Amino acid sequence: MTMTRTGTKPLRAKPSLRILVAALALAALACDPGKDAAQEQEKDKGKGKSQNPAAVNPADTPLPTLSFPPDSSGVPAFDANRAMQYVKEIVALGPRPIGSANHKKVEDYITAHLKGDTVEDDAFTADTVEGKFPVRNIIAKFPGTKDGIIVIASHYDTNYPLRNTSFIGANDGAATSALLLEFANQLRGKKREGYSVWLLWTDAEEAMKSWSDTDSLYGTRHLAQKWQQDGTAKQIKAFLLADMIGDADLDIDRDMNSTQWVESVVYEAATRLGYQSHFFVRSNAISDDHLPFMSIGVPCADIIDIDYGYNNVFHHTVQDTVDKLSTKSLEISGTVILETVRILDKMEPLPPK
């Protein structure tokens, strides 16, 4: 994943000062958006991500106001302790870059937890800047009574350029892969009064050398093309992407590269659960697994916290370990995503694509 800063930026300031400093940062960015991005680009060289000049000012584009259906069903069931246990088991496998033995182990780990579910693979060979690699997107399908599909996705590979370090991607890959496993537990064996839910563990999200349109998102670029050709894309009502949201200091970004009405639904879900203070203080434009689906007209929201440690210092470092996460954050992320699905199920009609 990579980003373009559009609004505020990670700050070295006391929490009480953050709003003021954020406003100043926004003003500064409005004057010189390219400079900040260029500095960031320099800083991020060699880390497998890059940034582009700011494109959209979120202050000009408030979240769309929608009319939401009432919901009196309470907090969605979600076992955050079990999700945290999954995180620990996944990172215990070690670094899991594509092409590695550990990558095969995490594939087996995921599919072993989906025994008895309807599981499909999108497996192919990716021609990358580092050569040819097997790539496998894993999809678990839970049917609903309504015509249409909601996809919830997370990548499960770990960063390839860090393959020879102890990088285990506790937040970057493991936490959200675990969230999806717990969603499967909640969906399994129940009749869904709503859209079908497909859980998608994406592969080869990470760049092999340095993030670019052609060196990143190998798995989802393949799957989006496949789903466009076979007609699946037209049936997808919303695509919810989860990334880096186990962070103990949870502050989820508003993503300007996502479909803004879907962002509104996510914020409504967070507000209903009393978790809105963890959402949308910052705005960023994130390049992530949703982009291939955005480009074929699927409504998407990237639910991501790209301030992992002050100034994002833990991201793509060996410090991305379980002690930086919290069970509470998994609970917030998990229940808000399930509440988002619940609202989408009942919104009639959904906004146009």
Q: Residues in the site for Zn ion, rule: CB under 5 A?
A: 159, 172
Indicate the residue among 282 and 316 with the shorter CB distance to Zn ion. Answer: 316
For residue 165, CA distances in Å to 2, 96, 169, 184, 243 come to 21, 11, 11, 31, 21
Distance between CA atoms of residues 259 and 66, nearest Å: 13
Q: Give the shortest CB-53-to-Zn ion separation in angstroms.
A: 22
Q: Which helix (H) or strand (E) holds 262?
A: helix 260-272
Q: Give the shortest CB-259-to-Zn ion separation in angstroms.
A: 23
Q: Give the shortest CB-171-to-Zn ion separation in angstroms.
A: 9
Indicate the residue among 78 and 156 with the shorter CB distance to Zn ion. Answer: 156
The pair of structure tokens assigned to 302 is: 């990237």
Regarding beta strands 144-155 and 236-243, do their DSSP bridges make them parallel or antiparallel, or are they unpaired? Answer: parallel
For residue 337, CA distances in Å to 4, 187, 191, 267 come to 24, 13, 19, 10
Is the Cβ–Cβ distance between 198 and 140 less than 8 Å? yes
Indicate the residue among 196 and 329 with the shorter CB distance to Zn ion. Answer: 329
Distance between CA atoms of residues 225 and 202, nearest Å: 14
Query: What is the number of the residue whose Cβ is closest to Zn ion?
Result: 172
Q: Give the shortest CB-97-to-Zn ion separation in angstroms.
A: 11
* Amino acid at the residue 287: S
Is the Cβ–Cβ distance between 344 and 300 less than 8 Å? no
Is the Cβ–Cβ distance between 295 and 100 less than 8 Å? no
Q: Give the shortest CB-169-to-Zn ion separation in angstroms.
A: 7
Closest CA to 174 of 102, 251, 121: 102
Indicate the residue among 206 and 251 with the shorter CB distance to Zn ion. Answer: 206
Indicate the residue among 172 and 182 with the shorter CB distance to Zn ion. Answer: 172
Indicate the residue among 172 and 255 with the shorter CB distance to Zn ion. Answer: 172
Q: Give the shortest CB-270-to-Zn ion separation in angstroms.
A: 24
Residue 63, SS3? coil
Q: Give the shortest CB-316-to-Zn ion separation in angstroms.
A: 6
* Amino acid at the residue 163: R
Q: Give the shortest CB-162-to-Zn ion separation in angstroms.
A: 9
Distance between CA atoms of residues 335 and 322, nearest Å: 20
Indicate the residue among 172 and 339 with the shorter CB distance to Zn ion. Answer: 172
Indicate the residue among 302 and 345 with the shorter CB distance to Zn ion. Answer: 302
Distance between CA atoms of residues 234 and 300, nearest Å: 13
